[in-house]
Amino acid sequence: MKSLIVLFGFYPLTSVLAQQIQPPTITTTVNPAYLAANCTNCHGAKGTVAPGSIPSLDGLQKEYVIEQMKAFREGKRQATLMHQLAKGYTDEQINLIAEYFAQKTTGK
């Protein structure tokens, strides 16, 4: 009997707690600089790359970067690496990355 009282005594508390537990909100807001950091590993940070190497993305037109990424992804542009990399990004992420690089200056 005592244990029943204890059980029911806890009931209201647990039901209140259950109501307060919310599923985590999934946020899609990503700092574009974090996404773009994956690119600068190869394309160079601050527009500085050795001549003849992988080109800098700084200052490239947003539409151009979006077009190239989609062309790589769909196999319309030949590539050694980019066709594989481009598949890892959603359209939304590509937009953010392209916007980020378009706003950067070439550093020249």
- When binding is defined by CB under 6 A, the residue of 38, 61, 103, 106 that contacts ligand HEC is 38
Which pair of structure tokens corresponds to residue 59?
């200052």
φ, ψ for residue 10 (rounded to 5)?
-85, -20
CB 70 within 8 A of CB 94: yes
Q: Does 79 bind ligand HEC (CB under 6 A)?
A: yes
Q: Which of 27, 80, 90, 105 binds ligand HEC (CB under 6 A)?
A: 80
Long-range contacts for 80-88 (Cβ within 8 Å, ≥24 apart)?
Answer: 81/42
Instruction: Count the residues of the shown chain that bind ligand HEC, applying the rule CB under 6 A.
Output: 18
Q: Counting contacts by CB under 6 A, is residue 27 touching ligand HEC? A: no
Chain contacts with ligand HEC (rule: CB under 6 A): 38-39, 41-43, 54-55, 57, 65, 68-69, 79-82, 85, 89, 97
